[in-house]
Amino acid sequence: MKFNNLLLISQLIALGSAGLIRRDNSDKCSCSVNPNNRKDCGYYGITETECINKGCCWGSTDVNGAPWCFYTASGGKTTDCNNNGNEGKSCEVDIYKREDCGYYGITKSGCESRECCWAESNISGIPWCTCNVDERSRKDCGYLGITKNECEAGGCCWAESETEGIPWCFNQPAKPSIGGGDCVYTVTDLETSETGMKAILDLEGRICQKYDVDFQTLDFEAKFETDTRLHIHVQPTDIKNNPHNVDMPAAAYPFEIENEPLNDLQYSYELTNGQNFQLQVKRNDGSVVFDGMSFIFERQYLELSKKIRSDASIYGFGEVLAPYKRNSQDTQHALFNADNATPIGQNLYGSHPFYIEIIDGKAYGFFLRNSHGMEFTIKNNVLTIQVIGGNFDMYFFMGPTMDDVVKQYYKVIGAPALLPYWSLGWHQCRYGYEDIWAVENVVANYKKHNIPLDTMWIDIDFMDAYKDFTYNPNKFPVSEVRKFVSDLKKNHQYYVNMIDPAISNTKNYAPYERGLQKDIFIKDKYGNNFVGEVWPGKTVFPDWHHPNILEYWTNEIKLFKDLAMTDGNWIDMNEAANFCNGACDTPYDDAPFVLGEFNPRTPPFAISHFGTNSKAHLKTKNLDMDAKYYGGLIDYDIHNIYGHMEAIVTNKALLNIDPVKRPFLLSRSTFPGTGKYAAHWLGDNHSDWEHLYYSISGMLNFQFFGIPMVGSDICGFVFDSNEELCARWMELGAFNPFGRNHNGLGYIDQEPYVWGTVAEASRRALAIRYKILPYLYTHLVRTHTHSEMILYSFAGEWPNDSKAVGIDKQFLVGKGLLITPVITKGARSVTGYFPEGVWYDWYTHASFSGPTSKTLDAELEHIPVHIRGGHIIPTQGPSLTVYENRNKPFELLIALDANKKATGRLYLDDGISIDVNGKFNEIEYTVENGTLTAKGKYNYDEAQKLHEITVLGVSSKPSKVIANGKEVSFEYLKNELIIKNLSISMNADFTVSWN
């Protein structure tokens, strides 16, 4: 407590120390221990927070050798004491951090009957029924003169107050436990078959009402769709009268998901008539993969939780800046698409309600197909998903490897698009190129400094007043843009520019007028065109669900391409971003939620939109949640698929315009399945070391999110980059599947030639990228044809290696190249972990075996790269463009494993046709017993020959080398065989042997 009479306080402290004034807890909870008698409860360097979290006491002292972190007077921990039922309670008192404990419309008595706290507030959006206590409601938990350390060590909450008489040490009631008895459904009317089961789930009159009105009965169906895919669907029985709990629109997945004959189910799921419903999924060996806890289904609130291990290995559920392996003790963020410039731990541009968990070395996947906003939390060994609408449309994928899970998942959301070969080349862009002549200078400077460049991008600078489908007549005159594009084509380079979804509502602006004629814009709640604001000012937004939208969008893009042909397009701001919070022209107050009334503007549960400390209104930087789409849909129900639907429509439009070439499309906003139509970049990142690190986990996540063609803005988008950071980012960026240097308006130039060391680092790293282009392209195509990935994580490759499952500062390109980037400022070395196997240095070919950790030299211009034993890497070049690269002879780099074996493959086609019509080569390479064998299918006429083969790990010099029956010359260095001057056709099988 705080008093003005300091003398009184000192006297009371003395009495307390003498034991004359005590709390209810016994002395065993006391942290008043003579420093000479303290028993160490921590470790050297422990912090106060870490000590208290361990349940120990904390108190600094000048007594030499006395621990600052120590056990209680009884020799135990504070967590062993009786804390008056206060374990696990929040101590937050800031009203902006209140956690809702009731529902809108709840009464004070109803709140207190839940054992929650009641504190009224006149601030909109602040719950009155809360787990966080207003200071006027504090209940004293200490004694006069108690210290903060003693208060918290006793399991109480501490917060100072300026108000006289308010206790600083206090306790508070806890929020009711998740999934109480009143929330449990009973299984009735169960019907089973060999391919699944159906049932009615019945609350039988019980009342849950955690946040909203309950659905008393639910239709449940479990479908055994394949041996490795279990599909569980739960919706209200009275679905016709609950349009906001129906399935996602069919247009979001315009293809049929194929089932397979059941031969050997890898999972089991059981229900019993008359018993409580539980969501527990097991493998066929009886091990539990999903041990369900809460299951709540209310009109605007759904909840599902499961138990997890304290050291759980969980990956996914994004888009979010977070470590690759999710924090198993403290993870919380929303999935709600937003124009949010990459803060750590918040909802970003896309929503992917999919995760992979590895348990005892085996992986399974979980997908919740639901486009409503949701919250994802992992705390106290419980994973919880809370959704503000829709239904439970759940898929379980049994793996058992991460690769298997991804293949199984892709069958549901669609395999990634077949992208053109040139998209693997290097890309350059920035927001802020002054005019077309500045862009031309950038292309010229790349060539001058011998840095590869395939594609030049232009951000919204080219537009006339930032309006879509226009060119600024002074800075980007169409005649000059056409000349620029023509020059690029002569050099076999490419051009991509921007299309935002928002259309300026300027009168006489043709795309707007044509949109009005076709009536394809989203409506507000009154039926008028919804008006927001984006770059050109006031705008309207295309409705991607409207039957006229494809015709409209195809026409606008075609007219735009007729001005100056682009090779691809970039769709940005498609969350949909809005500079107003909801409608600009007709704003109105958001009515508070009332139990029993559907309210899309103010749902009963607040997700962490723009962060857990914000929980902003859903319309913040978005459309109004009651904005209307064709067919009765509203934004509340389908907000998270706005960008996804734009990608589908734009992809179709590009195919309508040119049905021969593969479309290249880059989208900022994504959802499961977007990769079938578009690539992705990680958004408006920051030019700092932290975002450099998080770019790795971002790329790894999108490999299994179904968009493997992904990368960050190299050197950062927001804020000024610098020489060291940009050098390291260019090195790492050379191994992004989508590699593009891009920065923002008003920041210094960061093209790789700006700094000498960055130019050299770029030349070295991009030389590797271009050399391995045949390897990269093979992987790119196989994402489409075989549901594979381009980048691979250590967790996926070595799931039984306890160290590997947490590594996210290294990654694999394919499965044969290991990248160990420097992501620390000032570092000139980096420590990498190398799992089991043989590893070869890319540059020196020196080898060693894992598992081991190694500290690697890494001067500023150098990135460590290693080849994994057992892999064959096909190469060409390197050159300065993909076209030049493809006109260079082939080489094979063979890295033998400990058994002197290796495998690899190569795919070849024209690199551009959407339908190659069977004209491709697919070659499988194997090495065993000193013989390289190439076998394949050959329907594409590849002009280039295999010129050179390098074999690493050859332990002794061969007496001779035979290629296709003829003896050839070779060189042998230590453990390295080099066979040069070959001229082997890439259109037929061959063998090369050494003895």
Give the catalytic positions in this structure.
572, 575, 684
Instruction: Kindly provide the residue ranges of all beta strands, DSSP E only, lying in 263-411, ordered along the sequence.
Output: 267-268, 280-283, 288-298, 301-307, 313-318, 330-335, 352-359, 362-368, 374-379, 382-387, 392-397
- SS3 of 387, please? strand
State both tokens at 821: 């980037």
**Between the CA atoms of 931, 937, 939 and 945, what dihedral angle is there, to the nearest 10 degrees?**
-10
Which residues is 367 bridged to in the sheet?
A: 354, 395
**Run of H or E residues at 892:** strand 890-895
Task: Give the HSE-up count for residue 413: Cα atoms under 13 Å, Cβ half-sphere.
Answer: 33
CA–CA dist 866, 774 (Å, integer) = 18
Are 777 and 856 in contact by the 8 Å Cβ rule? The answer is: no
CA–CA dist 575, 549 (Å, integer) = 18
Structure letter (DSSP) for residue 95: G
Radius of gyration for the chain, computed over Cα atoms and rounded to the nearest angstrom: 31
Helices (H), 348-420: 402-413
- Which is nearest to 615 in space by CA: 626, 625, 603? 603
Identity of the amino acid at 422: W
- Which is nearest to 154 in space by CA: 165, 137, 140? 140
Could you tell me the CA-to-CA distances from 196 to 62, 220, 286 in Å, in that order? 69, 11, 18
Residues 6+ apart with CB under 8 A from 966: none
Instruction: Kindly provide the residue ranges of all beta strands, DSSP E only, lying in 733-828, ordered along the sequence.
Output: 740-741, 791-792, 811-813, 817-819
Helix pair angle (436-448, 478-490), 10° resolution: 20
How many secondary structure helices (H) and strands (E) does the chain include? 17, 51
Question: Prior bond to 319 cis, omega within 30?
Answer: yes
Strand pairing class (169-171; 157-158): antiparallel
Residues 6+ apart with CB under 8 A from 194: 224, 262
Q: CB-based burial of residue 392 (10 Å sphere; 0-12 exposed, 13-18 middle, 19+ buried)?
A: buried
Question: Prior bond to 564 cis, omega within 30?
Answer: no
Could you tell me the CA-to-CA distances from 598 to 104, 212, 246, 298, 625 in Å, in that order? 12, 9, 15, 11, 12
814 Ramachandran zone, left/alpha/beta (phi>0; psi -120 to 50): left
343 backbone dihedrals φ, ψ, rounded to 5°: -70, 155
Are 554 and 605 in contact by the 8 Å Cβ rule? The answer is: no
CA–CA dist 450, 456 (Å, integer) = 16
State both tokens at 32: 């008043």
Helices (H), 705-755: 723-733
Strand pairing class (865-868; 817-819): antiparallel
CA–CA dist 498, 505 (Å, integer) = 19
Are 457 and 464 in contact by the 8 Å Cβ rule? The answer is: no
